[in-house]
Structure 1
Amino acid sequence: AFQRDLNVVLSRGVWQMFQIAKKEYDKTLEAHAALDFSEVLERAVRLLQQMDEFARSRYRLESRYHHVLVDEFQDTSRAQWNLVSLLVKSWGEGFGLVDNAPLRPSVFIVGDRKQSIYGFRDAEVTVLQDAREYIAALRPEEPARQSIARSARATPALLRFVNDVFENVERADRDDAFTYTEADRFPTPPPGDGSEDVDPPLGLVAADAIEACANGVALEIERLVATGDVRDRETGLVRNVRHADIAILFRSRESHREFEKALQDCGIPTYVYKGLGFFDADEVKDVVALLRYLANPESHLRAAAFLRSRFIRVSDPALRLLTADLAGALGDPEPPAALETLDAEDQRVLMLARDGVQRWRALADRLPPAELLDLVLAETAYAFELRGSRLVQARENLKKIRAIVRRVQNRGYSTLARLADYLDRMSAGDEANAIIDAADAVNLMTVHAAKGLEFPIVFVVNLSRGAGGIRPPIRVLTDDGAGEPSVSVGEFESAADEDLKARDREESKRLLYVALTRARDRLYLSSVIKDGVWRPGGGGLGEVLPSALGALLVQASSSTANASLVWTQKSGAQQVLRRCPSPATLADVPHKGRADRLRVPLGNTPVAVDRFAPLEDIESAQWSSVTAVVAGQAGLPPAQAAARDQALSADAARTLKGRLVHRLLQHCGEHDARDQTVEALAHALVRRDERLGVEDVAGTVAEAIRVFKIIRGHEEFSTCRLDDCLFEVPFSFKGSGNTIVLRGTVDCLARATDGSLTVFEFKTGRPSPDHRAQLDVYVAAIRALFPEAAVEGRLIYS
């Protein structure tokens, strides 16, 4: 009773403080003539409710909008639904301007209560049921509900697994409880009908440490990329696994670093998605350390961060020896007394840094921050640090932080001190990594970020990690379950607190459902198992996972476990799960996957990716296609060569056949050689606009397939593994002593196991002398791109 009475007193104090803060907040908004999102929604609802004062505007809205569609309705708040319901209220009452329209008005909401995962944004899963009843009452004579039960996304094995998991999830007796009834189950064919793969599409990765789990995930990804198959989303045909086919999902965003590091150690490219890790990236931390130091060079803490950044790279022992005056070690006119105690490399690095710092500090008040940052990046050759498997992501992140600095600078007068404070505030948020367009990289993201997405292969990791965190000292609930608000302060725990835990548990079930249904072909579960016991943390996905799966994860963490584990249901049905090895270190593990084979030279950009020489003036350069130059060398006048090329391109059937042959070589892997598969793929690869002007599309496709098989079976090309080939490789090339820039496209560039490269040029017509000259130009261009590789050329005729 004492604790309850004390909570009442403290709640009154909190209420008074809130009133003061709210008053000041409202005054600030009014001074800036602004509204926050909640207030915009509240005022809109209030205006719609005031029929007399708002009638004219309401009728204008009705006359303009006759149909309402609300997608992802399960994530709608009560206030948002109130707004929608007020807009359509008159439609069921038979009055209003829209009721006389030729087409009756309609409201259409799309949602799945099993995927309501935004409770922290005021979404209420019960709103979906309320809306359903409301809409059904608008026109009782018409059916109001349509449901979709069949999934076209996942394989039958994964759908059966999802059914089994949520049939075994503990049920709660609440209005907002997660339910999985017979109507929710995915219809699937019975197991053993030939639709199963020999390699189980389900897997477990478990170990006693998060680092070992991350290593296990990385090794399994390496295996899948080297030997695995998935269904192509566009064609539905089987093809090899790519890095971009894979996603690693987390419950919360604090635990991705170990997995990112393990993937990098295996040479696997990664992309950390939406709200994960921008200010945790090394290149961004380096830039922030530089700007914070230049804003306050007298700070020892900021000097230490700058000394340890990759701009300087002072070693840890040297940093300890300089601890007495870190700021002075960089900024004092005289070198520090401890300089002689450093090793030779640290001495050299520190003296170079001191020289640079003197210039940069002198320019700090004269140059805009963005220009000063660019100057430091250039003088320190920082681009050298952006290498390895994160090269593309690191460069995009560096572009993004530079853009942020420039954007802040362009808003008005901005000192380095203000900029550093702004970056400090930003780093406390959830800024996302720079987006990489069409990157072939493994995606790391939270389950919330994955909502609405799908991937052929999904790893749901850190299942045992809790997500509760430290309980807020003041907890305010607008609804305690009985329609009344509740406030709890400090250690006092009210019935509403217990109800909140139950709500969060039900939302965790829905979050698990979203995570498992992101996969199309393969699904893996991963968790840390401490001391051989399944002990999931509160608020995590593992807390709501069926205990039988927890027991299987314990088995998988044992080094003596079988390569496959079996989960048997009450009905007798069985799920086979692959146990993935999880070594504590990757030092002694051989890496022989496709990722390793393609890493150099085809997996990266050419060596000279960052050049600091002045750009060449290309305005005065002459540009020409390889075919035009080769024709000129063969004595064909330019006008005649252009007329020949135009005549060839005008032949739609011939053009389509040539394109199809190249596309089949690019898309049809070793596992897709069946006639029916090749024919289906060929027709799928024909674009709609390409069918125009072709009288016999089927005949053209058949001829393209015939040519494809001849080329694919050629003795010089049949030994090439298609996964080690790049097709349609464009280039611009200026040979030594040549003033003309040649442009062309290599049909196929293949890499052998010894690192040598072969340029294949495919010809569907009769042999011609200029074909060899054309191939020689292509070989010269590839030699310029890859100077350290042996390059040869081959002509393949059909």
Structure 2
Amino acid sequence: MKMIEADFEQALALDAANRELALAIESFIVEAPAGAGKTELLTQRFLKLLQTVQAPEEIIAITFTNKAASEMRARILDSLLLAATGVPPDAPHKQITYALGQQALQRSAALQWHLLESPARLRIYTIDSLCANLARQMPLLSRFGTQPAVTEDAWVYYREAAGLALQTMDEDSLGEPVRRVLRYMDNDQARLESLLMSMLAKREQWLHLSQGKDHNQAQHALIYLIETELQAALTALPARLQQSLMPIARYAASQLPPEHALNTLLDWQTPLTASIEDLHSWRALTELLLTSSGGLRKRLDKNMGLAATDEAKPYKEALTDILSGLAQHSNSEPSLARIRLLPDADGEDDAIIQALSQLLNIAAAQLWLCFQAQNEVDFVEISQRAFQALQEGDEATELAMRLDYRIQHLLVDEFQDTSPMQIDLLKALTRGWQPGDGRTLFAVGDPMQSIYRFRKANVGLFLNAALHGIGDIALTPLKLWRNNRSCPPVVAWINQTFQGMLPASDAPQQGAIAYRPFVATRAEATGAGVFVHPLITRVSSEDEEPADIRHLEAEQIIRIIQQTRADKPNATIAVLVRARKHLHALVTEMRRNHAELSFQAVEIEELANRQIVQDLLTLTHALHQRADRVHWLALMRAPWCGLTLADMHALIGQDGQRSVLSLLSDDHILARLSADGQTRARHVREVMQSALQWRGRTTVSRWVHNTWLRLGGANCLWNESDVQDVQAFFARIAALEQHGQFNPQALADDVQKLYAAPDAKADASLQFMTIHKSKGLEFDTVILPGLDGSNPPDDAKLVIWEEVPMDDGHTELVAAPFVPTVLKRQQATITAYDYLNDLDKTRAAYEDARVLYVAATRAERQLHLLGAAKPDKNGEPQARKNSFLHLLWPAIQQWFNSEHDIVSRYPSAQQAADIRQFVPKLIRLREASTPANLQATALATHTGYQTSTEDESAHRLEADIGTLAHLYLQLIAEQGLDAWQAHEKSAFLPLNLPMQRWFKQQGYNDNEAIQGANQVAALLTTTLQSADGRWVLQPHTQAASELAIEQLSEGKKVIDRTFVADGVRWIIDYKSMPVTGNDDLPLLAASFKTQLTHYAQLFQQDDLPVKTAIMFLSIGQLVLVEA
């Protein structure tokens, strides 16, 4: 901060010099603050390196998100395209990029790379896609037989593996660690299974650690941590000061009973050291200096051996002077307070740690077997197997040695978010690199934006790399100073506020990062600044907040949005929150009263809160339990039925015992309902009675889906987001079924973890998201509501492992087991688990400040802060502890006064009465009936829901009809339309017998084979007689049929038909289901959007616009689907 105020020009000069130096062909680590333009720097570096390599594949750039990778690729390609125009830009930094782009194109032309025509040669990966690529190159070394699919939601596997691991308790030798851990956990098997699942989801953080066997090393590492803490206390309380404390402590101890903690210092004669041997004496000393809450004492009395006597007076005065001196140094109090958190390093946990490690390894092995059974893995498995493909023990593998010759330059973005495992991956990739051999590693990041502790990201790794390099590669540290994003008033406020909020110095072990100031280079803008919108309640801080505080806050946010739009119509606005729950009131208010303000909510609205999904859960529960009165009543209120409250009372009001289905089956009871109510009730009765006959005779997903369709559920979808939400719901049912874990409650639990799709048609200039999601983005106006909110504590861990960097640079391991509640009651001492858990809490507190920094630095012009304070016992507003507002309090406390008071509004008696009489609006279909295309025979083929005893057989025949039709359409496209004489209806008669033989080979009888052959012929004839069908099958550029594409991250995809026509890439999927022109074809086609979007993404590097469509073979019609 002082440097910026003293010499603004010097900071800019240093920035410019370091940017120029960063383009040298050497290895660097660059600190780049928010808004510094690091993507532009990475682009320039990449273009510069292209001038030095023999092939573009020799350069690999790595980042952490798909968005960041796409942005980097787009920036490099745009720079090359700009260079190709020959028209230099006006901006100075763009002129550098332009010149580098021209030189890269010259290199491309000289070596015939054809970069503009083949942009896929630019190797830009996310860390996950890089690992997938490595694992795919060496499937045997990475322990993959065939390439598996990758799931983004592997909780069903974690649950299955945890259960299988616990089942081994009945085995002799293998079950011993399981039995030991269960006894330790007081036989709480459900709790243990839950902890195992959580650990499996994060096994990349511990699996390589759990296999260590040197428990003496672990104890040595714990002692090192303890003595590091004692050294900090010794700095605060050096030997000179201890000499003054000795007589005071001896006197105080002599005045107290023998069992008092101070009795340890009764014979204190020599200064304490930072050795663990003095830990008990240090603990006793904290009793003399600190209160029970950890603060320096302000009151000295007889309870600590210093009574109000003449004899004690000189000791009290001396201690008061010492305490006053300690208070002058900010580090003294916390350093001494941390002594109380230090455990004994007695090694008593070794046995249970060994058992827990064995159990975790059993669970990890079971998880691998579960993955193999389904040929599907999670991203963690991909990362681990990629590392195994590069390194076998301490030796490099064949792949690593091969890559050693191919990779010349590595660029790593967002380096502050790396984990120890990712550092090991970089070491493996650069193994064997020598100084001066021309190969370089370039890492860039901002330690102040390190906010992924929950992924085991360790900001200390950035600091360590700057000091010691990575592996054998020394990195030259560079620092950038410019902020090109935010206006000067915003930058000034951030510098001033966070200078005091972040710690004064770096402390890697505790995750502490000192503030790095920056300078604003953007011009002033009208209305720029930071604005505080205080909310003050009149309830005491101990009371719950009034329910309408969040409503008041939502109203204020809407006013800010409206005012911003009025002042600057094209402004981009983001509402950023710490946790999704902090947006609930705002989303509710906007949907209810401000529909004109459309917004995009990125992973904000929980899928389980969407009405369409709640109705589907209701249906699922009702189908599985006829006596579930609550869900059956909810079923009758859902939009497909929508009974009024009067009809509901008439149905159940006189009989509280019988099931709802029983009441529906009684025509005498139905007669009590209104005419409309009777029609609606009978519709539900008929559909549900029919559906219940098929329980167990088809898959649950098909059973629920077809019942939902017959009830009219598809008619209750209001927009495209509803379609995607329904697809996600049925995908969860299918996933649970696949693993044999389906039950309605498991489904409800799983759905709680999913988020509703954002409205793709909503205004993208107004976005709601979490702060973590906003990282890397920028907005004209940023609104931060709910600053008074706090996050729940982290979940408990079965074992905490801590990698401790020692003085010589190597790391050692500390492990501590979870302490069950029953043991906590029995032992009052601090455990190693308590200490490591508290260390993690300290890191979390430091990270909270960095999360707030990330949020504030998203703002270009305006930053708005909203939070609620409550009065303390003296009536003074105070911020809730452990909240963002508490962190900001020194900077914004002045705003929380009567002048800015917004008092919570309490409802009047009349309003309260109105609330009690409130009746929610009934949303329902105009009439309740099964859609026409799902009635009678169409039901059996269109939905797969059979009303005959041949349910599964008929469904299989339908699928095989589609398979054979696909094969013939591929043949027709390859041989050409003219060869098939499609204008004649008899074109397929000669093929009827071969088709029948094909069906018989699949196991069908004669009648089924004839039926199948006739239907295939009819589909092909209709398709070839239609204009759409002939256009799809005619020759096109880059045409392909049944194109199989293998991707590790997505599995095998087969595209029915694709080609390029008029500069557009077409992707077409055939559907053989029977439909008519009366069906809602766009809605039906939209249900396949997710599948088509995946297909479109496979061609995203072609730089061509993409169109996707469904070809309905039964009517020969092509229907576009926006992907």
Q: Same fold (TM over 0.5)?
A: yes
Please tell me whether the aligned partners of residues 879 and 889 of structure 2 are also in contact (alpha carbons under 8 angstroms). Answer: no
Could you report, residue by residue, the CA deviation over 1:663-694 in whole angstroms, capped at 9, with x for unpaired residues? xxxxxxxxxxxxxxxxxxxxxxxxxxxxxxxx
SS of the equivalent of 1:146 reads strand
2:413 is aligned with 1:71: yes
2:776 is aligned with 1:444: no
2:568 is aligned with 1:228: no
CA RMSD, aligned part only? 4.9
Change (3 A) 1:495 1:93: same
- Taking the aligned partners of 1:323 and 1:505, their CA distance within structure 2 comes to 58
Please tell me whether the aligned partners of residues 868 and 879 of structure 2 are also in contact (alpha carbons under 8 angstroms). Answer: no
- Taking the aligned partners of 1:11 and 1:311, their CA distance within structure 2 comes to 61
SS of the equivalent of 1:279 reads helix
Please tell me whether the aligned partners of residues 278 and 397 of structure 1 are also in contact (alpha carbons under 8 angstroms). Answer: no
Aligned counterpart, 1:668: none
2:458 to 115, 119, 124: 124
Farther-moved stretch of structure 1 (146-155 vs 71-80)? 146-155
Could you report, residue by residue, the CA deviation over 1:692-750 in whole angstroms, capped at 9, with x for unpaired residues? xxxxxxxxxxxxxxxxxxxxxxxxxxxxxxxxxxxxxxxxxxxxxxxxxxxxxxxxxxx
SS of the equivalent of 1:453 reads coil
Aligned counterpart, 1:504: 844
2:861 is aligned with 1:521: yes
What amino acid is the match of 1:156?
A: P
1:285 Cα deviation (Å)?
A: 1.5
- Taking the aligned partners of 1:66 and 1:476, their CA distance within structure 2 comes to 38
2:685 is aligned with 1:354: yes
1:77 Cα deviation (Å)?
A: 0.4
SS of the equivalent of 2:849 reads helix
1:120 Cα deviation (Å)?
A: 0.9
Aligned counterpart, 2:598: 269
1:84 Cα deviation (Å)?
A: 0.5
1:255 Cα deviation (Å)?
A: 3.2
Please tell me whether the aligned partners of residues 613 and 725 of structure 2 are also in contact (alpha carbons under 8 angstroms). Answer: no
Aligned counterpart, 1:453: 777
1:540 Cα deviation (Å)?
A: 3.2
Aligned counterpart, 2:870: 530
1:248 to 575, 596, 599: 575
Could you report, residue by residue, the CA deviation over 1:309-342 in whole angstroms, capped at 9, with x for unpaired residues? 4444567895896697587113556449998998
Aligned counterpart, 1:400: 725
Could you report, residue by residue, the CA deviation over 1:411-444 in whole angstroms, capped at 9, with x for unpaired residues? 98899x9374663342242x22214335216422
1:434 to 757, 766, 769: 757
Change (3 A) 1:371 1:553: farther
What amino acid is the match of 1:228?
A: T
2:442 is aligned with 1:108: yes
- Taking the aligned partners of 1:330 and 1:382, their CA distance within structure 2 comes to 19
- Taking the aligned partners of 1:212 and 1:333, their CA distance within structure 2 comes to 41
Change (3 A) 1:21 1:168: closer
- Taking the aligned partners of 1:28 and 1:137, their CA distance within structure 2 comes to 32
Please tell me whether the aligned partners of residues 136 and 144 of structure 1 are also in contact (alpha carbons under 8 angstroms). Answer: no
Aligned counterpart, 2:15: none
Please tell me whether the aligned partners of residues 622 and 628 of structure 2 are also in contact (alpha carbons under 8 angstroms). Answer: yes
**How many residue pairs were aligned?**
547
Aligned counterpart, 1:286: 615
- Taking the aligned partners of 1:25 and 1:170, their CA distance within structure 2 comes to 39
2:519 to 186, 193, 217: 186
SS of the equivalent of 1:486 reads strand
Identity %: 20
Please tell me whether the aligned partners of residues 665 and 685 of structure 2 are also in contact (alpha carbons under 8 angstroms). Answer: no
SS of the equivalent of 2:501 reads coil
Change (3 A) 1:330 1:147: farther
What amino acid is the match of 1:114?
A: M
Could you report, residue by residue, the CA deviation over 1:487-537 in whole angstroms, capped at 9, with x for unpaired residues? 351446633233222111001011001111122222211223334765545
1:248 Cα deviation (Å)?
A: 1.9
Listed as ranges, the matches of 1:38-437 within 5 Å are 41=383, 53-54=395-396, 56-93=398-435, 99=437, 104-135=438-469, 144-169=476-501, 171=503, 174-175=507-508, 176-181=510-515, 183-187=516-520, 195=524, 197-198=526-527, 202-208=531-537, 212-220=548-556, 222-224=558-560, 226-228=562-564, 239-241=568-570, 245-267=572-594, 268-274=597-603, 276-307=605-636, 309-313=638-642, 328-332=659-663, 334-335=665-666, 350=681, 353-362=684-693, 392=719, 395-402=720-727, 404-405=729-730, 409=734, 418=742, 420=744, 423-429=747-753, 431-437=754-760
1:43 Cα deviation (Å)?
A: 6.2
- Taking the aligned partners of 1:383 and 1:508, their CA distance within structure 2 comes to 44
What amino acid is the match of 1:437?
A: A
TM-score, L = length of structure 1: 0.57
What amino acid is the match of 1:77?
A: S
Change (3 A) 1:167 1:297: same
What amino acid is the match of 1:354?
A: R
- Taking the aligned partners of 1:550 and 1:331, their CA distance within structure 2 comes to 63
Could you report, residue by residue, the CA deviation over 1:11-44 in whole angstroms, capped at 9, with x for unpaired residues? 8547525523531431441475487655665565
Please tell me whether the aligned partners of residues 115 and 511 of structure 1 are also in contact (alpha carbons under 8 angstroms). Answer: yes
1:164 Cα deviation (Å)?
A: 2.2
Change (3 A) 1:65 1:323: farther
- Taking the aligned partners of 1:255 and 1:397, their CA distance within structure 2 comes to 23
- Taking the aligned partners of 1:323 and 1:556, their CA distance within structure 2 comes to 58
Could you report, residue by residue, the CA deviation over 1:573-596 in whole angstroms, capped at 9, with x for unpaired residues? xxxxxxxxx8779xxxxxxxxxxx
Could you report, residue by residue, the CA deviation over 1:464-506 in whole angstroms, capped at 9, with x for unpaired residues? 1121347638562424798523335144663323322211100
SS of the equivalent of 2:432 reads helix
2:362 is aligned with 1:20: no
Q: Greater helix share, 1 or 2?
A: 2
SS of the equivalent of 1:228 reads helix
- Taking the aligned partners of 2:755 and 2:484, their CA distance within structure 1 comes to 31
2:892 is aligned with 1:549: yes
Please tell me whether the aligned partners of residues 573 and 781 of structure 2 are also in contact (alpha carbons under 8 angstroms). Answer: yes
Listed as ranges, the matches of 1:564-713 within 5 Å are none
- Taking the aligned partners of 1:619 and 1:49, their CA distance within structure 2 comes to 56
1:486 to 816, 822, 832: 816
What amino acid is the match of 2:757?
A: A
What amino acid is the match of 1:70?
A: V
- Taking the aligned partners of 2:1025 and 2:898, their CA distance within structure 1 comes to 69
Please tell me whether the aligned partners of residues 416 and 446 of structure 2 are also in contact (alpha carbons under 8 angstroms). Answer: yes
Change (3 A) 1:199 1:541: closer
SS of the equivalent of 2:782 reads strand
1:224 Cα deviation (Å)?
A: 5.0
Aligned counterpart, 1:690: none
Farther-moved stretch of structure 1 (148-157 vs 208-217)? 208-217
